[in-house]
Amino acid sequence: MTNYVIVGTGVAGIGAAEAIRSVDAHGTITFISEDLHGYYSRPGLAYYLTGEVDEKLLFPLKPGDLKKLNAHFSHGNVVRIYPQKHQVELSDGKHVYYERLLLAIGSNAIPLKVPGANLHGVAKLDNLEDTRRLVSLTKNARTAVVLGGGITALELAEGLASRKLKVHLVIRTAHCWSSVLDKIEAQIIEHKLNHDGITIHPNSELTSIQGKHGKVAGISLASGEQIDCEILAYGIGVQPRLQLPKEAGMACERGILVDEHQATSLPDIFAAGDVVQVHDPLSGRSIIESLWSPAREQGWVAGLNMAGQRAVYSLSVPLNVTRLAGLTTTIIGAVGSRDESEPLTIAHGDSETWRDIPDAIIAQSGFDVNHLRLVVGKNTIVGAIVIGDQKLSSPLQVMIRNRVDISEIRDQLIAPEAPIADIVANLWSKLHASQN
Amino acid sequence: MFKNLFKRESNRREVLAAGFVVPDSARCVQCGICSFNCPINIDVRNFAWQGRPIENSQCINCGECVTRCPRGVLRFERTSLFAEA
Ligand SMILES: Cc1cc2nc3c(=O)[nH]c(=O)nc-3n(C[C@H](O)[C@H](O)[C@H](O)COP(=O)(O)OP(=O)(O)OC[C@H]3O[C@@H](n4cnc5c(N)ncnc54)[C@H](O)[C@@H]3O)c2cc1C
C-alpha cells in the first residue's frame, strides 16, 4: 500500500489525489496544507469580493466527493524536506514519512515594499483569508487605491467598486494589462472601468502610504499627487514558492524544474501547478503557466505517475479566460510576444453584434462591446483575443490548436477594415460542412 | 438596467430552442457562480469539473448559468446536434 503525501490543497493537489484514486483504491493519501480552508476556488475570490458568490460556494467539493477521495487532510506548514529519509518536517517539529511526495505549493503574491506597507488597510487578493479581511475593511471605508495593472489588480478595482467604494487604480505603465492587451483593447476596458466610477492613474508610481493611528489614511505618487484613502489594495504579480524545494536541493530556475512526468530532480518527489516550470519542446522555452486548468492537468499527470502509471504532460496552446470590466475575454495562443520568427500581421475587428455568424455557433453573447484581434502568421492564425461575444472563441481555439490552414482567407483578413469575425465564421462553417 | 433584462430575455428564447447546457472545462475555474444562480439548485459547477453536459432532467434551460458565467464556460448545444455526437 503506497503512502502518498501531497503538500498543498490547491487545484493541482486535488487533481493529483483524484488521479491517484482513479488507479489506486488502497494507498493512503495525506494532504498537508498551511491554508486553514483547504481546497477552494482561488479565481472565485474575485467574485466573492464583488458579492456575486457566497463564501460557502467557493468550495467545490461536497462531503460525498471528499469521501470518495478517501484522503486525510491535515493543517500544517512544511518547512523542510529530507529526500534521503523520505520525510517532510512541519513547523511544529512533526515529521511525516512519504513514499511518494507531491509539491503542489503554488505561488504567492509579490509583497509590496514601500514605506507604510505594514499599515492596517493594506490588502491583497491571494487567498481566502486575504479576501475576508478585504471584505471586512470595505465596511468602514469610502475610498480605495488599487495598485497594479494586471488581472488581479483589475479584479480588485472592480470588486471594491461594486462594494460602492470610490476606487483609484494606479498603473505603472500607460495602459492596463499591457503585457497582453494592445492599446485599443486596453482603452475599451479602461473606458468601461471609468464608467463604473474607477479613476485610472496611468504612468504612476506609488512612493509611500501614509497612516493615522496605525491605519491607512492616504498614499503618495511619484508625481507628488496625494490621494486620501482607507484601503490600499495591491496586485503586482505572483512568484512560485521556491524556498522549500531549493533548500532541499531540488533543481529550480524560476520554478521547480520537472520532466514530462512531473518528476523533480529528487527521487520520488513530484511537483505540479503554479510552483512548476515546464519545458515547451516546440519553442524550446521554459514557462510557468500560473493558470487553474494547467495546474489541474499537471496535478492529474503527477498523480498517475506517483501511482506507477506512465502519463505525460504536454503543453497545449495557451488559453486564458477572464472577465475584464464585465466583458468575458479569451486569450488564445501567442498574443503578447512579438519575438516569433514568423512575420505576424494583426487584424482587428469591433462590432456591436457580429453580423453573419451562423446560428449554429451558440455561446455567450449579448455584450454591448465586442472586439476581436487575430495574430495572423503565414498560413495560420497563431493567436487571438476575443472580448465580449464568445461565439468565435471555441472555433478559434480549435483553429489555433490544430494549426488550420487559413491561406485562402489570409488576404481578406488582413485587408483594412476587414469584417474579420464574419470571415472567420464563414471559414469555420465551411470547415464544418466539409467534415459532415 | 432594462438592457440587462432584454439581454436575459433574448438569451432565454435562444435556450428554449436548444437542448443541453454543455461546459468547456478548460475555461472553468470552479468559481461557483453557475451553481449559485441555478434557480433549481443544480450543481452545474460539478458537471463542468467532470466535463459532462448538464444532464439533469430538472434543468429548465433558463440560461442563468450560461449568462452569468464570467468565463464563458457554458453554451447550449441543440438536442439534435447532441444526439448526433
Ligand atoms: C484572485 C485570483 C484570480 C485568479 N484568476 C484566475 C483565472 O481567471 N484563470 C486561471 O486560470 N487562473 C486564475 N488564478 C490562478 C489560479 O488560481 C492558480 O493558477 C491556481 O490556483 C494554482 O493552483 P496550485 O494548486 O498550483 O496552487 P495554489 O492554489 O496556490 O495552492 C497551493 C497550496 O499550497 C499550500 N502551501 C504552500 N506552501 C506550503 C507549505 N510550505 N506547507 C504547507 N502548505 C503549503 C497553500 O496554502 C495552498 O493551499 C487566479 C488566482 C487568484 C488568486
Q: Do A41 and B78 touch (CB under 8 A)?
A: no
Secondary element (H or E) of residue A210:
strand A206-212
Q: B13 versus A104: which is more confidently predicted?
A: A104
Relative orientation angle of helices A420-435 and A393-401, to the nearest 10 degrees: 70
Q: What is the pLDDT along chain A (436 residues), one digit of tens a residue?
A: 999 999 999 999 999 999 999 999 999 999 999 999 999 999 999 999 999 999 999 999 988 898 999 999 999 999 999 999 999 999 999 999 999 999 999 999 999 999 999 999 999 999 999 999 999 999 999 999 999 999 999 999 999 999 999 999 999 999 999 989 999 899 999 999 999 999 999 999 999 999 999 999 999 999 999 999 999 999 999 999 999 999 999 999 999 999 999 999 999 999 999 999 998 776 777 889 999 999 999 999 999 999 999 999 998 888 999 999 999 999 999 887 454 455 667 777 766 555 555 555 556 666 777 899 999 988 999 999 999 988 899 899 999 999 999 999 999 988 888 889 989 998 998 887 777 6
Radius of gyration of chain A (CA): 23
Give chain A's contact residues with B (Cβ, < 8 Å): 11, 41-44, 46-47, 52-54, 57-58, 60, 62, 292-293, 319, 321-323, 328, 330, 362-366, 368, 390, 393-394
Q: Are A33 and A9 in contact (CB under 8 A)?
A: yes
CA distance A333 to A319: 7
Residue B14 CB: number of other CB atoms within 10 A? Answer: 17
Question: Do A140 and A224 fall into the same domain?
Answer: yes
Write the CATH number for A357: 3.30.390.30
Nearest atom (ligand 1) to Cα of A244: 41
Which string of DSSP letters, residue by residue, matches A106-126? Answer: -EEEPPP-STTTTSBTEE--S
| Amino acid at position A68, single letter | K
Domain count, chain A: 3
**Where among A190, A218, A234 does a domain terminate?**
A234
Please, what is the angle between helix A407-414 and helix A420-435, to 10°? 170
Which of B24, B32, B68 comes nearest A58 by C-beta?
B32
What's the first-to-final CA gap in chain B, in angstroms? 39
A138 and A89 in a common domain? no
What residue type is B2 in one-letter code? F
The answer on A28 and A42 residing in a single domain is: yes
Q: Based on the fold, state whether residues A61 and A136 are members of the same structural domain.
A: no
Q: Model's pTM, two decimal places?
A: 0.92
B36:A54 CB<8 A:
yes
CATH number, domain with residue A298:
3.50.50.60
Q: Is A311 a member of any domain?
A: no
Q: Give residue B85's pLDDT.
A: 35
Assess if residue A422 is contained within a domain: yes
A166 assigned to some structural domain:
yes
Residue A274 Cα to ligand 1 middle (Å)? 7
Structural domain range at position A338: 319-434
Assess whether A214 and A271 both reside in one domain.
no
What are the strands, taking DSSP E only, across A8-141? 28-33, 71-75, 78-82, 87-90, 95-97, 100-103, 107-109, 122-123
Q: Is residue A317 exposed (0-12), middle (13-18) or buried (19+ Cβ within 10 Å)?
A: middle
pLDDT at residue A77 in the model: 98
Q: Is residue A394 part of a domain?
A: yes
Q: Which three cell numbers, joined as nine digits, stand for A149?
A: 495593472
Enumerate residues lining ligand 1, CB below 6 A.
A 7-13, 32-35, 42-43, 45-46, 77-78, 104-106, 125-126, 152, 155, 241, 244, 273-274, 290-293, 295, 322; B 29
Q: What is the pLDDT of residue A277?
A: 96
Chain B residues with CB-CB distance to A44 below 8 A: 29-33
CA A7, CA A192: separation in Å to the nearest integer?
41
Residue A247 three-state SS = helix
Q: Is A313 among the domain residues?
A: no
A224 and A259 part of one domain: no
Query: pLDDT-based confidence at B1, cuts 50/70/90?
Result: very low
Query: How far apart are alpha carbons A414 and A61 in whole angstroms?
Result: 47
User: Would you say residue A158 lies in a domain?
Assistant: yes
Same domain for A125 and A95: no
Judge contact between A235 and A142, C-beta under 8 A.
Answer: no
pLDDT for the residue B7: 41
**Which of A199, A234, A269 is at the close of a domain?**
A234
Pick the atom of ligand 1 nearest to A13's CA: 25
| Domain end residue (candidates: A234, A254, A285) | A234
